[in-house]
Structure 1
Amino acid sequence: MEEENLVSVEKAKSCFGRLGWALCAYAMVIVVLQLVAVAIGGVLFAMGVNVLENAWFLWAASFIPQYLVGVPLFLLILRKMPVVEQSQTKLGGGKFWALLLMCFPVMFIGNLVGTFLSGLLSGGTAQNGVEAMVSGGNPLMLFTVVILAPLVEELVFRKQLLDRCAQYGEKTAMVFSALTFALFHMNLFQFFYAFGMGLIFAYVYLRTRRLRYPVLMHMIINFMGSVVPLWVVSNLDLDALSNLNPQNLDQEMLAAILPGLLIYLAYVVVQLVLVIAGLVIGIVMRKSLTLRPTPEELPREGRVKTVYANVGFILFVVVCVVVFSFNL
């Protein structure tokens, strides 16, 4: 038995080492190519052409490195790694919506923590790059955030990772998937809620082995976090609100600002209801969300070292943390 455990640990080290290198290559190629894009933008700016504030250029600088170069490279590195096939099961509608609702308190609390720490570490100067990215209303940017990013990120961080490492323990695999997913966002604003939602998405995938469930959840969450707030803010008359004086509030001004304020208030109420509902469901369902033992489950002693103490993963963390620091 001891010899079998030793073989399992060695296999796991090899597996997580390869995954670490794939993640490292994925992150590095994105960062390097985006730096190249910034350099090109700088050269063009010196020539009198300012593309660094052009929404389409910024979209291309994000899209091409990640989706046209990074993902194919990641898949190429993992191509020959063994995959443990598991039977697929359905996730009932009730459980799907229950698990989705559990994402809202995770997102709310994680966002508060991330925003607080970002402000604290930056002296209040940090800006949420994702908010800035979608605030322009670029249709391709919104398509990327709501449709493309969930598809690709679930393919990478759930299917590709979990299919190769879940046999070493479901808890181990879930944490690895969620942690790498959170680090990959490369900013402190998103780190905490990305980690929490990554755990939920990983659990859903492990229970069903169907990618469509976490993808759909991810799409809904991104839609609620980007398109809906953008629409809500677009209904606010910001000029009227900035010049608002309660002493000179007339019927015409009230008619201008009231519809937008009512929409905003309804949005806040709905968000609070979703957060509270998610918390209640999480408490009620906590005992039913169980993890299953696996044949090659890693022993508790030395588990962290087996999974994370490899050059590829460490370099992946370094790349992400360096970008974290620049985003503060």
Structure 2
Amino acid sequence: MEETALRRERKICSALGLMLLAVLLCSVVWSFLMSGLYYMTNGAIPYVLYLALTLVGHYALSLPLAFRMVRRVPRVEPARRPVEPLALVRWIVIGLSLTWVGALVGVVVNQLIYLATGRVSSNDLDQIIDMMPVGLVVLCVSVIAPVCEEIVFRYLLAGRLARYGQASAAFISALLFAAFHGNFSQFFLAFAAGLLLAYAYFRTGRLLVPILIHMAVNFSNSGVALLLPPSDTAYALYGFVSLVITVAGIALLICGRRDIRWDSGWRKPTLRAVFLNPGMVLIFAACFAEFAMTAFLY
């Protein structure tokens, strides 16, 4: 890649990295402000409302800012193709399988970290969700978050990285999606899900498809467990169904691997262009700091 073209590509990727950094900073600042407001008012804000606003309220600030920051970066519109209902169901099953396997890997990694540091493992996100009413979990975790995250990571990010080819765009956006979660519990499942969601977006050319897959996966992983009656039988049945879906998803993925198709781009991605620029360095540094704080301080 000639030097002039390299500078142009680095500038484009830096803008995308800075966009994600702005979204992350909005989340951190918003959480800080909400915590301060809650304690300054001595809990006058209902705790459930406080949790809900903390989880998703920052998107009202970050989404308009994200659109503005990358408005000059050209998108590659994927070809619009018909959406077959069976394909959507297949992607959902594969998505559930990938996230459950990824979650298991995340648990193992987390346990190793806690064993190495001599601390007791915890999952703050699960604790927050357990304190919220089911309806609020469905609204925040299974509706609002998937819509906003798909806009950021598939429409704004992957759609602009597709200049390097859809496969490269899916990998880079999935890596950033996973890093953005800021903890090992969700890193592996988010990376696997990010690849699938990007593929569904590129294959159909419709943002609604990955949104629906994301909603279904989040609801299955969070909402369904809360709806179960508190009995060993219900939990055992849920575990059995999860195992069956996991095996089915892996089988579908293996059987359909030869049908996976990615459109090529007009630029070849290089390490210097995509990652060695101010925006990407800053967002990865911020995510690394979040990982370190989550893994070793909490």
Distance 1:107 1:185 in 2: 14
Aligned to 2:250: 279
Aligned to 1:224: 220
Pair 86,267 (structure 1): closer, same or farther in 2 beyond 3 Å: closer
CA contact (8 A) 2:77 2:205 kept: no
Aligned to 1:61: 54
Distance 1:268 1:33 in 2: 36
TM-score by length of 2: 0.90
Structure 2: runs of 5+ lacking an equivalent:
none
Distance 1:186 1:52 in 2: 27
Distance 2:261 2:143 in 1: 30
Aligned to 1:296: 267
Aligned to 2:236: 265
Aligned to 2:128: 133
> Any runs of at least 4 consecutive aligned residues in structure 1 with deviations exceeding 3 A, and if so which?
6-11, 39-44, 50-53
Deviations 1:260-314 (A, max 9, x none): 332222211110110000111111111111323222233xxxx122111111122
Aligned to 2:292: 325
Aligned to 1:114: 106
Q: Once superposed, what is the RMSD of the aligned Cα atoms?
A: 2.1
Counterpart selection for 2:198 from 177, 198, 202: 202
CA contact (8 A) 1:16 1:307 kept: yes
Pair 129,90 (structure 1): closer, same or farther in 2 beyond 3 Å: farther
Is 1:168 the equivalent of 2:164? yes
Distance 2:5 2:206 in 1: 26
CA contact (8 A) 1:24 1:315 kept: yes
Pair 34,137 (structure 1): closer, same or farther in 2 beyond 3 Å: closer
How many correspondences in the alignment?
Answer: 291
* Greater C-alpha Rg: 1
Pair 67,177 (structure 1): closer, same or farther in 2 beyond 3 Å: same
Is 1:315 the equivalent of 2:282? yes
Q: What amino acid maps onto 1:125 in structure 2? A: V
TM-score by length of 1: 0.82
CA contact (8 A) 2:106 2:184 kept: yes
Aligned to 1:240: none
Is 1:305 the equivalent of 2:272? yes
Q: What amino acid maps onto 1:135 in structure 2? A: D
How many angstroms does 1:53 deviate by? 9.1
Deviations 1:180-222 (A, max 9, x none): 1111212221111000000000011111110111100000001
Structure 1: runs of 5+ lacking an equivalent:
237-259
Q: What amino acid maps onto 1:280 in structure 2? A: A
How many angstroms does 1:16 deviate by? 0.8
CA contact (8 A) 2:184 2:291 kept: yes
